[in-house]
Amino acid sequence: MNSPKLAFHQVNIKTIESKVNAQGSTLSDFLVMASQAIQDILEAVPSRYRGPGGAVAVLKNGELAGEHAWGYADLQRRIPMDSSTLMPICSITKQMLCMILKDLECNPTPEMAKRGSVRQQFSDSLDQLLRPEITGKTGLRIAHLCNNQSGIRDYWAMSMFWGAHPDGGFKLGEDAKKTLDRTRSLHFEPGTQYAYSNLNFHVLARVVEKVSGSKLGDLLDERLFSLAGMKTATLCEDNANLPPPCVGYEGCESFGFVPATNCMQWSGDAGVVASLKDMVAYESYLDKSWDNPHSLYRAVAREQSFKDGTAARYGYGLAHGTVGGVVTIGHGGALRGFRLHRLHAPSERLSVVVMLNHQADAEEVADHILKSVLKLFGHQLPFLKTAKPSPDWVGTFFDPDAQLAVEVSYGSPGQVIVSYAGGNETLTCVDEVNGQSTTMKGKIDRDILTIHRLVDNRVVNARRVGSSQEPPKEHYIGKYRCAEIDSTFYCSGAGGMLYGAFDGFLGQGPAHLMRYLGDDIWALSCPRGLDAPAPGNWTVVFKRDGHGQVVQSPTEGNDLPFGDLYDKRSIGKVPRQLAKIEKVSRLKTSALCPLVATVTPPRWPDSFIPRRCDRACKRKNETVDKGQLRRAQKTKVYRLDYYSDGEPKHDTCDDINGLQQLFDGDLKTDERAGDARFRLFVVENISQQVVDKFGSRLDVGRQSFTSQLRDCTRYNLLDHWRVPPSIHLVTHEQS
């Protein structure tokens, strides 16, 4: 408490000003004293947020008011950190990309100007980059990507599903293209919600490059870095080749600091490297730009809104918030081993830059510095009266809309900690059952938790999860497949100790620990990923069928149950290697209907053949009607029941009305029932009603009939529907 620095922090600008007036000092003396106070604040940061090294700065009125660099850029080689040390500024790149995008709109290249509307060129390029499922009828626009309102999932989080290792590689060319190909749906309607997605800005960068014909690095050099005086800033897309000497460190003081390995490539969502000197020049440039309402900075800093008119707190790579009751604009950046943050308070003309080569919370550091400086300048920080939280807050809840778990625990007195969107967030309780922060409001009503996430523009209604001491034994082990994103999930372990791992185009990922939450809901821990911060805890929700069995994909080496999929009776087990019907069992009957309606009557009621055929003959009469009915009912179906040895049992049906009896024939009535393996239906005449019967009776989709239907249609077109093909037994390999 006797430290001169701590004592000095109690002095605000008004006190300094009174001393200046009493001593008859000049304005320059006043500014010197203020700068010294700011310098003291900065020099106290290293001991408060301990780590290998860092650099911080404060600007007032666009001028440097204080800066401090400390520690080591490289602990092993003992290279000191200084204000010229280059570091990756990571996601702070996003706002710079958006300024380039806006600058190209206002100042297009000559070639762009010749092609007409720049915005339309951007839109057309977006349509070419993304799959039609994303751009077709969704209303997706460039602005949605700039504001993180697109609904496109973050590819750095999705990389876990594709088998990525934290230290693994990711190439801008091949891997990024595969990512876009596997991005086939949105997780909300564009413009209705907010969700942070790096992929938005990767796509924007590719749009900018395609339309302008220039590389992003060149555009940044020409249209931003040179204007702002950022002399050493540059775009470095490959994190495995960052400019020396700075090293980023994972770990902590008690565990030790370990150099982080980063091998992925990025461009647009991140990629810029800069020194503290560069960032001071950047902040000075932005401060001077603020007074010009037509500047690029004012263009990207303009407040955005959601589709419902609600003001958005994020837009064009900038987060809008408040610190100490003062409105701020800023953004953070993170890579394993690095944490950065910048804040600008336009009303106070104050800016803060924080750059760390370790994983302390850079946003917390920036907030601390800004609050300290605001207090120095006489600002009264807001005080919120707190209450003791109700015990009902604590527990695990489940959001059925997002399929995410919400875990709530006690925090500091008068606070609860909410873990929902990948990290911990603090609510200050204003009474027993209501809490709030600058980003969300919460309420607990016994077993119902309601959270209004202000940034996301979402209201979460979650119910308490009924946890038990131990999960059901052995229910979850197996393989689970997501065809849309081309990912396979493997669950292994026993009892309450399960592990989850993912395979995809990036490889076979590491196993992650899982923790039972209750009600078939588990948390899967992912503390390290390709990017940082890592995804954190994923929610894994297992689904059960009508018989209480966990639904999963068939796995290699496991036997498959055989029986009528509609009544769920298992007649026997089929070794997977022999189960050619495995693919058929996963098809849906809904896909069968459009195909049948296209290639069979009554779509062709007035002709022997399709209308598109030149030889179509319009002969609507009683003979034609009878012929069509006969073809629609034509039946020739074989049923073969296979056993472990001996010849298969064989039955035939050539009457549409006898198909039901053929279906109902039960292997259990046979003396060899206990040795049953599987049942095979061979359809010779694929008429309309045969297809309908199979489609309604069995869980058989169109792929099992597609090749035969095509053959049948081709022969019928050639023979005018008069001589149907004879297909005794045709085997079609399904890839």
Q: Active-site residues: which are they?
A: 91, 94
The tokens 């280059």 sit on which residue? 86
CA distances from 356 to 51, 53, 248, 281 (A): 8, 6, 8, 18
Rg (CA), the chain: 33
CA distances from 466 to 63, 472, 531, 573 (A): 57, 13, 34, 35
- Characterise 646 by phi-psi region: left (phi > 0), alpha (psi -120 to 50), beta (else): left
E-strand ranges in 284-439 read: 314-315, 318-323, 326-335, 338-345, 350-356, 395-399, 404-410, 415-419, 424-429, 434-436
The secondary element (H helix, E strand) that includes residue 357 is none
- Rounded to whole angstroms, how far apart are CA atoms 178 and 20? 65
* Interstrand relation of 497-504 and 487-494 (parallel, antiparallel or unpaired): antiparallel
Beta bridge partners of 565: none
Dig out the tokens for 108 from the structure. Answer: 């297009």
Return the SS3 of 296. Answer: helix
CA distances from 122 to 145, 183, 190 (A): 12, 20, 17
Whether omega before 80 lies within 30 degrees of 0, making that bond cis, reads no
Residues 6+ apart with CB under 8 A from 209: 215, 216, 219
Burial class (CB in 10 A: 0-12, 13-18, 19+), 547: exposed
E-strand ranges in 255-325 read: 256-259, 263-264, 272-274, 314-315, 318-323
* Interstrand relation of 676-683 and 637-643 (parallel, antiparallel or unpaired): antiparallel
- Rounded to whole angstroms, how far apart are CA atoms 724 and 633? 13
Please report which residue ranges of 565-605 form alpha helices under DSSP H.
582-585, 592-599
- How many Cα atoms occupy the beta-carbon half-sphere of 73 within 13 Å? 19
- Rounded to whole angstroms, how far apart are CA atoms 595 and 709? 9
b/e sequence 662-692, b meaning 16+ C-beta within 10 Å: bbeeebeeeeeeeebbbbebbbbbbbbbbbb
DSSP 193-240: -----HHHHHHHHHHHHHHHSS-HHHHHIIIIIHHHT-SS-EE--BGG
Check if the beta carbon of residue 563 is closer than 8 Å to that of residue 641.
no
CA distances from 525 to 337, 405, 516, 528, 655 (A): 20, 13, 11, 9, 58
Sheet with 272-274, edge to edge strand ranges:
87-88, 272-274, 234-235
End-to-end CA distance of the chain: 75
Query: Which of 514, 561, 560, 504 lies closest to 537 in space, CA to CA?
Result: 514
- Rounded to whole angstroms, how far apart are CA atoms 587 and 578? 18
